[in-house]
Structure 1
């Protein structure tokens, strides 16, 4: 098992919580709806599910930017645990409003 693999599950979990409970879900759904085919906009559930996936994916991508910059600046040839901690911290910081909403609503 890789040294970085255990970090991926918390990153994905926090990003999923951000996708579901983010305060940006409704504005993002309103912005995305005119650009989607009719199948996605015919059902509100499908529209919000797709929006949740987009927000989760964007969270992972944006949170990876500081980790990638860290690797570039330090000249590392491969990803290590420090980079994964930076990525995890970036995901947690981006997801703070959604995580607080998650604990308010409950699961």
Structure 2
């Protein structure tokens, strides 16, 4: 009887040990998958943030170049306006002088 009792106890302990090992392995697999999913989600998030960062960097470069181009065009336009103002002043002086000459006649 002693051996039969030992076999029963051994079977119970062995089955209990298998159940505990199965539960632990399930927890380990779930935990590993959750870590893997977290790593994948972090990778995807970082990838999307890098895409947004590069797009914003390209936008900043584009707007900076556009700003410089507009400043260049503005300087050209301002110089043209100064030249035209001088010409206008000269023409008005000439007209006023011509008017004075005509009035004197």
Q: What TM-score comes out, normalization by structure 2 length? A: 0.31
Look at both structures and tell me which one has the larger radius of gyration over its CA atoms: 2
- Larger relative CO (CA 8 A, sep 6+): 1 or 2? 1
Scaled by the length of structure 1, the TM-score of the pair is: 0.30
Structure number with the higher helix fraction is 2
